[in-house]
Amino acid sequence: MHRFLLDERSNFEGTSALLSPALQRHLKAARVSASETFILSDPETGKAFECVLDPATRGRALVQKPVTLVGTGPVEISLALGLTKAETLETAVAGATELGAARICLFSCGRSPPVKARLDRLEKIAAGAAEVAGRKSPPVLEGPISLEELAKTGLGADRKFILWEESGARGRGASLYKLLREGRPAPKVTLVTGPEGGFSEKEVDALVAGGFECCSLGPRILRAATAPAAAIALVQGVWGDLQ
């Protein structure tokens, strides 16, 4: 069944939903027929309903019954994503959204390329990924901030992990999986992944000084686009709802 998020120009009105021109085009592109049931959800309230298009009024859908969509799970996961190439950021944001990240914060570091992050573009990608995954709402996107600010705030998490591919070889920490298995579940977790080329040891030291735990994803070196999804999947599999 197709799932769609209401945009800022759409809203529920009692037993029907007003559809903006953009959302109408979205339904048309998805080839939703006049008799086909689909799900509309309001990211502001988290409420969702099965609906059908109103045959009598263009731009309106008729509400049939409420449905329950998935949230972010028992662990609130924040992903701190090192600024990198646009296509890499887009892949990482989509995967993190599908796997239940509640918050995605971009930050700059030494090996980040001189690019400007287009939050509006990333927000659209996150919204589309949330629809695919059946989420109540997409994650909050913010930044970019500096690595120093990230080290200072930790994005308000109870446990904070920096994923560094060299941590095992340099004896700087265990695997993320081991730390999760040996620890008690935390309500809020921050995961930090870097750009292509990773972090310098100085940057790792700054984050560790801020209370982050240095760890790896095991023996494999993952790309900047796929490492965030792997890390979130581990947290969701051990402490969350991916079980």
In tens, the pLDDT along 105-117 reads: 999 999 898 877 7
pLDDT higher than 70, residue 172: no
Distance CA 214, CA 198 (A): 13
* Phi-psi sector, 190: left (phi>0), alpha (psi -120 to 50), beta: beta
pLDDT higher than 90, residue 69: no
Position 87, amino acid: E
Please, which pLDDT band fits residue 174 given cuts at 50, 70 and 90?
A: confident
pLDDT higher than 70, residue 168: no
Average pLDDT over residues 223-238: 96
Question: What integer pLDDT is reported at residue 170 of this predicted model?
Answer: 58
Neighbours of 167 (CB within 10 A): 21
Please, which pLDDT band fits residue 173 given cuts at 50, 70 and 90?
A: confident
Please, which pLDDT band fits residue 167 given cuts at 50, 70 and 90?
A: low
Average pLDDT over residues 95-103: 97
Average pLDDT, the chain: 92
* Among 69, 64, 71, 76, CA closest to 16: 64
% of the chain residues with pLDDT over 90:
77
Cis preceding linkage at 144, omega within 30 = yes
* Among 20, 204, 33, 180, CA closest to 109: 204
pTM of the model: 0.89
Query: pLDDT, tens digit, for every residue of 19-59?
Result: 999 999 999 999 999 889 999 999 888 889 999 999 998 89
Sequence-distant (6+) residues with CB within 8 A of 24 are 58, 59
pLDDT higher than 80, residue 76: yes
pLDDT higher than 80, residue 226: yes
Residue bearing the bigger pLDDT, 171 or 45:
45
